[in-house]
Amino acid sequence: MQVPEQRLLRIVVAAVLGSLGGILYARALDAPPVMNILLGAVYGVVFASLFARRATTPGAGLLWGLAFALALWLIIPANLMPMFAGTMRQAGMLDAARAAFPALVAYLLCFGLPLGVGAGTLQAFFARATEENPSIMNKATRFSLPRALVTGGSAGIVGGWAFGEWMRQVDFYPLVAGLVSSTSPMIGKTLHFTIAVVIGATFGLLFQRDVRGFGSSLCWGVGYGIFWWFLGAMTLLPVLRGEAVDWSYTRGGELFGSFVGHVIYGLVIGLIYAIANRLWVVFFYESDPLNREPSGVGERNLRALAWGAAASMTGGLLFSIVMYETGALPNVASIVGGTSYALGFGLHLVISALIGMSYGVLFRREAPDAGAGVAWGLVYGLVWWFLGHLTLFPVLLGRQFTWTIEAANLGLPSLIGHLTYGAATAVVFMLFERRHGAWLALDPRLAAREARLQRPAGTPAPALWFFLLTLGVLLPIILG
C-alpha cells in the first residue's frame, strides 16, 4: 500500500473511531448524539493528521490518544464551553473544571482510548507489511509474546501486593469481591491479584517496544496505572457490580485513595517489568562482544550514583526553601526524634541525595536534550510526591499512610517543591552525563554505540510527560 493510501486509510479509520467515541460519549453523559458523533469524527481526523504516524505501536497510540483527549478536554469542556455559556465568570475556573470532570473521564475513555489504540494498531500493521525481512531484526528489540506475558504478569503480582496493602487497610477487598456477588475478603484478594496480573501482562503487550530504561519504564507504569484508575475504579468496577457509573468529581474525590494506589501500583509494575525484561534479554538474547560497554556494570552504576547525588544538592537546596517557608523542616527532623530546623535541613539533604542517586541509576541515557531532561525530572519529582510525601514519610514517622484528598491538599506546597527538585536535579545530572558523553565521542565506535542507546526523538515520551504532569498536578486540586 502506498503512502497516500495509508494516509487516507488512517484518516478514515480515525474518523470512524471518533464517531463511535461520540456515540459512547453521548450515551455516557446523556448528550446530543448527532452533534457528538460529528464532533468525534472531527476529533478523529485531527488526531490522524497530527499524531497517527507517531502512534507506531498500540501502546504508543494509547499514550498519544490519551494526551490528545486530555488536551481537548482542557481546551473545550474545561474552558471554551463554560466561557461561552457564561458560567466561567460566575463560578470560576476551578468550579468549571470540577463541573467538567465527567467530560474528562468520557474524553479519555470514549475518544482517547479507541483513537489511540486503533491508530497504533493500524500503524504497526503498516510497518510490519513494509518490513522486508523481519528475521534480521535485533532479537532484543523484536516483540516477544512470551517475554511480554511472563515479565508483565510477574510485575503485576508485585504491583498488586503493593496496592493490596492499602486495600487491606481500608477494607477494600469485600468491594472487589462484589464482582462475583460475594463479600469474602479472600475472594476479593484473589480477584485483585488476578486483575493485577492481567493489567501487568497487558502492560508488557502494549509497551514492550516503547520502554527503554528503568526510569522510563517506571514512568510508563505510572501513566498506565492512572489510565486504569479511570477505566477500572471509576468505570468497570461499578459496571461489573451492577451499579450506576458515577463520573462526578465528588466520586473521584472519594476514590482518591484508589488513585494513589494505582499510581503506586503502576510505579512498581513499571520498575519490576524493566528489571525482569532486562534479565530476560541478558539471559536469552544478548551476546555481542564487539558492542559491549566501555566500562563494567559496577563502574557505570557507581558513576551514575555519584552524579545523581551531586546533582541532587542543587534540587535539594531549592526544595529546602519551600520546606523552610512552610515550616516542614522540623517535621523531617522528627523522623529521628528531633525538632530543630538544622537537623531537618541536614536530614532533608541526605534524603535528597538518596533520591538523586536513584534518579542517576534509573534515567541514564533517557534525555537526548535539555527539554527532555527537565520533563523526566518533573515526572520523577511528581512520582516521589506520591511515593514519598503521601506514602513513605508517614510510615517513617510511625504512622499509617493516608491516601486521602485532604492529605493531598495539605501537601500541595510539597508538590511544588518536589517538582522543583526533580527539574533541577535532572538538569545538573544531564550536564554530568553530557560531559562524559563528550569523552566517549572521542572513540567513533563508542560514540555510535551511545547514539543507539540514547532515547530517540519521536517516541511517545512527550505524550507521557503531558498526561502524567497535567493529571498528577490537576487531579489533587480538582478532586479536593
Residue spans of the domains in the chain: they are 3-133, 145-284, 295-478
**What pTM was computed for the model?**
0.91
Q: Low-confidence residues of the chain, pLDDT below 70?
A: 1-2, 87-91, 129-142, 284-298, 436-458
The C-alpha atoms of residue 468 and residue 218 are separated, in whole angstroms, by: 12
Q: For position 456, what pLDDT does the model report?
A: 55
End-to-end CA distance of the chain: 51
Q: Can you read off the three cell numbers belonging to residue 381?
A: 519529582
Handedness of CA 72, 73, 79, 85 (dihedral sign): positive
Quick one: how far is CA 394 from the chain centroid? 24
Residue 169's CB is within 10 A of a number of other CB atoms, namely 13
Q: For position 50, what pLDDT does the model report?
A: 92
Q: For position 297, what pLDDT does the model report?
A: 63
Helices (H), 326-440: 329-333, 341-362, 370-384, 393-396, 405-410, 412-440
Q: For position 135, what pLDDT does the model report?
A: 42
Residue 50's CB is within 10 A of a number of other CB atoms, namely 11
pLDDT in tens, 19-33: 999 999 999 999 999
pLDDT in tens, 97-135: 999 999 999 999 999 999 999 999 998 888 776 554 444
The C-alpha atoms of residue 270 and residue 21 are separated, in whole angstroms, by: 29
Q: Can you read off the three cell numbers belonging to residue 261?
A: 494506589
125 and 1 Cβ atoms separated by less than 8 Å: no
